């Protein structure tokens, strides 16, 4: 019999709330964490040179309030977010599995930029000494190591980096590892703190960032809004979870992946559709059984049009309820898929599909059944969460109530 | 050579280098589509043009450019506006 994989713990730190409860409130009321960007690293006397001013930042985060002095010393913002979200999820799951039977699989795309970039700038500009903890604070796998150390997890542990799909790929891999019996349990998700001056300028140069605020699937959408944060899930085999009386928050029913293999930025609807198809096949269900899709929905002209085409291809005339959480959280690159996984699990758990915050005038040409203005009753058992990364790396999770 | 022709030749040269084509095969009437210049090529090329001429090309202009002539006229107007 196939082992089933359930979620028994969740944690997050996001621009719209630093607990799952606060995040849920933001997602279902449409309270956005997007605001004027406050620079931490802009050199004195410099102007940002950006064509946009808004991002989704985690506000008021004080590492010392959450972490030990050793943890603070060895980390930068991205890994600190990972530790905070993981601690919340682990506290909820209350595992007693041996450390060697637990995996850590995290997604982080950009590593420790908030430390590495200013440090490198000092070296290049004034030949300054480089801080001895630059390597350990900057490596993309830092968060994975820190989470493993914090919870004495000695099983398989690794980070993966697939740009905007990192968190979703990580959860998918962890799901496979638990389902196959390689491990009893896994802590998995994504974390990212990419909002450095250099990173913002690089995205600005690509001309895909909204000069206003991201409005996924809106007729007048004008780009994405960058964000940061972390979200973690505790996964374990269903029978074990039930036997120990754990509260089951949701189930991962399937996972699908594909590669567009066509263009480094322009997405291909065939790739997204094939990943959705793979997720449905893995879950052993038909499109009719899906009640809600949490879209990748970045708010760029290209992403939303291509994703809509892929959704129409899978769900046909009947359609499916669709919304995008990025209007609340911004796009936190490697973390975003994990944040959206939490949002999708919450949607099934609470029986209501969230709406896309701030979406007033939908783009009718997309032909989607968009959830507007208020959450919609969600009676079906299954939902999808889509991640479609730059470079055509697609990852889709299928959740079950 | 007139300054305006000079600008056109310079832009054609930049396109020729980026797409590894002989410049004489590119004219005002040549479409970006026929040169297989996609959205990413346009952004890449625009950055180089902005650096070379000290101008800022608006996002909306990049989307509407269809031919080499469109680009030459657009850049010429931006250079003139700067002067």
Q: What is the dihedral of CA B42, B44, B48, B49, to 10 degrees?
A: 10
Model pLDDT, residue A317: 86
A202 CB within 8 Å of a chain B CB: no
Sheet bearing A185-192, strands edge to edge: A157-160, A102-107, A185-192, A229-237, A5-13, A250-259, A393-400, A382-389, A290-294, A321-323, A369-370
Model pLDDT, residue B2: 58
A–B CB contacts, 8 A cutoff, strictly below: 15
**B43: enclosing H helix or E strand:** helix B39-53
CB burial of residue A374 (10 Å; 0-12, 13-18, 19+) = exposed
Single pTM value for the model: 0.96
Within its chain, how far is the Cα of A219 from the centroid? 25
Model pLDDT, residue B60: 87
Q: Which domains does chain A have, with CATH numbers?
A: 5-243 (3.40.47.10), 255-400 (3.40.47.10)
| B63 pLDDT tier (thresholds 50, 70, 90) | confident
Count the neighbouring beta carbons within 10 Å of the beta carbon of residue A277: 17
Q: Which of A329, A392, A397 has the alpha carbon at shortest distance from A164?
A: A392
CB burial of residue A118 (10 Å; 0-12, 13-18, 19+) = middle
Mean pLDDT of A270-289: 98
Which positions 256-275 of A are in contact with B (Cβ < 8 Å)?
Answer: 263-266
Report how far residue A221's alpha carbon sits from residue A268's, in angstroms, rounded to the nearest whole number: 20
Model pLDDT, residue A90: 98
What residues of chain A lie within 8 A of the CB of B50, using their CB?
none
Whole-number average pLDDT of chain A: 97
Mean pLDDT of A83-94: 98
Model pLDDT, residue A1: 66
Query: Which of A206, A263, A302 has the CB atom closest to B43's CB atom?
Result: A206
Cβ–Cβ gap A266/B40 under 8 Å: yes
CA distances, A191 to each of A110, A143, A231, A367 (Å):
9, 8, 7, 33
What residues of chain A lie within 8 A of the CB of B43, using their CB?
205-207
A101-127: per-residue pLDDT in tens? 999 999 999 999 999 999 999 999 999
To the nearest whole Å, the CA of B37 is away from the closest chain A CA by 13
- As a whole-number percent, the residues of chain A with pLDDT over 90 amount to 99
A124-157: per-residue pLDDT in tens? 999 999 999 999 999 999 999 999 999 999 999 9
CA distances, A216 to each of A16, A164, A253, A294 (Å):
17, 16, 27, 11
Nearest-Cα residue of chain A relative to residue B47 = A205
Length of chain B: 83
CATH value at residue B68: 1.10.1200.10
Model pLDDT, residue A242: 98
Which residue reads 């799901």 in tokens? A175
Q: Which of A50, A44, A112 has the alpha carbon at shortest distance from A81?
A: A112
What domain count does chain B have? 1
Model pLDDT, residue B83: 81
Report how far residue A65's alpha carbon sits from residue A62's, in angstroms, rounded to the nearest whole number: 6
Sign of CA dihedral A226, A232, A237, A243: negative
Mean pLDDT of A47-66: 97
| B3 pLDDT tier (thresholds 50, 70, 90) | low
Report how far residue B78's alpha carbon sits from residue B55's, in angstroms, rounded to the nearest whole number: 7
Report how far residue A124's alpha carbon sits from residue A270's, in angstroms, rounded to the nearest whole number: 44
User: CB pairs under 8 A, 24+ apart, for A370-374?
Assistant: A370/A217, A370/A321, A370/A322, A370/A323, A371/A292, A371/A321, A371/A322, A371/A323
A152-202: per-residue pLDDT in tens? 999 999 999 999 999 999 999 999 999 999 999 999 999 999 999 999 999
Find residue A12's DSSP bridge partners.
A231
To the nearest whole Å, the CA of A334 is away from the closest chain B CA by 22
Strands A352-353 and A376-377: antiparallel
Q: Which 3-state string (H, E, C) describes chain A? A: CCCCEEEEEEEEEECCECCHHHHHHHHHHCCCCEEECCCCCCCCCCCCCCCCCEEECCCCCCHHHCCCHHHHHHCCHHHHHHHHHHHHHHHHHCCCCCHHHEEEEEECCCCCHHHHHHHHHHHHHHCCCCCCCHHHHHCCCHHHHHHHHHCCCCCCEEEECCHHHHHHHHHHHHHHHHHHCCCCEEEEEEEECCCCHHHHHHHHHCCCECCCCCCCCECCCCCECEECEEEEEEEEEHHHHHHCCCCCCEEEEEEEEEECCCCCCCCCHHHHHHHHHHHHHHHCCCHHHEEEEECCCCCCHHHHHHHHHHHHHHHCCCCCEEECCHHHHCECCCCHHHHHHHHHHHHHHHCEECCCCCCCCECHHHCCEECCCCCEECCCCEEEEEEEECCCEEEEEEEEC
Cβ–Cβ gap B39/A264 under 8 Å: no
Model pLDDT, residue A356: 98
Cβ–Cβ gap A205/B47 under 8 Å: yes
B39 CB within 8 Å of a chain A CB: yes
Model pLDDT, residue B68: 96
What residues of chain B lie within 8 A of the CB of A206, using their CB?
43
ipTM score: 0.85
B16-38: per-residue pLDDT in tens? 999 999 999 999 999 999 999 99
Model pLDDT, residue A4: 98
Model pLDDT, residue A253: 98
Query: Residue B32's domain spans which residues?
Result: 3-82
């Amino acid at each position: 019999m196939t082992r089933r994989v359930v979620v028994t713990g969740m944690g997050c730190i996001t621009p719209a709330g630093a607990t799952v409860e606060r995040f849920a409130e933001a997602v279902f009321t449409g309270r956005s964490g997007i605001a004027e960007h406050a620079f931490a690293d802009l050199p004195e006397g410099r102007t940002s040179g950006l064509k946009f001013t808004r991002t989704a930042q985690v506000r008021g985060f004080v590492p010392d309030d959450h972490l030990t002095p050793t943890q603070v010393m060895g980390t930068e913002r991205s890994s600190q977010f990972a530790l905070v979200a993981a601690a919340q999820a682990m506290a909820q799951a209350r595992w007693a599995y041996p450390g060697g039977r637990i995996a850590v699989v995290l997604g982080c795309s950009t590593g420790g930029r908030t430390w590495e970039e200013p440090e490198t700038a000092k070296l290049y500009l004034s030949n300054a000494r480089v801080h001895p903890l630059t390597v350990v604070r900057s490596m993309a796998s830092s968060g994975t190591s820190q989470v493993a150390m914090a919870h004495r997890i000695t099983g398989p542990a690794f980070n993966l980096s697939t740009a905007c799909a990192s968190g979703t790929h990580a959860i998918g891999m962890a799901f496979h590892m638990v389902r196959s019996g390689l491990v009893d349990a896994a802590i998995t998700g994504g974390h990212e703190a990419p909002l450095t001056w250099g990173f913002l300028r690089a995205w600005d140069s690509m001309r895909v960032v909204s000069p206003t605020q991201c409005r996924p699937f809106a007729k007048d959408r004008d780009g994405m809004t960058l964000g940061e944060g972390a979200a973690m899930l505790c996964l374990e085999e269903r029978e074990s979870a039930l036997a120990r009386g754990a509260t089951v928050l949701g189930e991962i029913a399937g996972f699908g992946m594909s590669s567009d293999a066509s263009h480094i930025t322009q997405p291909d609807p065939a790739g997204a559709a094939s990943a959705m198809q793979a997720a449905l096949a893995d879950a052993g269900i038909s499109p009719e059984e899906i009640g809600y899709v949490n879209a990748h929905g970045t708010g760029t002209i290209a992403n939303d049009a291509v994703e809509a085409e892929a959704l129409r291809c899978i769900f046909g005339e009947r359609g499916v309820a669709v919304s995008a959480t990025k209007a609340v959280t911004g796009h936190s690159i490697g973390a975003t898929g994990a944040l959206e996984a939490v949002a999708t699990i919450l949607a099934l758990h609470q029986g209501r599909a969230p709406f896309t915050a701030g979406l007033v005038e939908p783009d009718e040409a997309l032909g989607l059944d968009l959830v507007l203005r208020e959450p919609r009753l969600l009676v079906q058992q299954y939902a999808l969460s889509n991640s479609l990364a730059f470079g055509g790396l697609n990852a889709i999770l299928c959740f079950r109530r | 050579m007139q300054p305006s022709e000079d600008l056109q030749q310079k832009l054609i040269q930049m396109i020729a280098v980026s797409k590894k084509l002989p410049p004489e095969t590119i004219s005002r009437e040549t479409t970006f589509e026929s040169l297989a210049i996609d959205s990413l090529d346009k952004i890449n090329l625009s950055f180089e043009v902005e650096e070379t001429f000290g101008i800022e090309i608006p996002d909306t202009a990049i989307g509407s450019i269809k031919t080499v002539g469109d680009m030459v006229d657009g850049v010429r107007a931006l250079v003139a506006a700067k002067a």
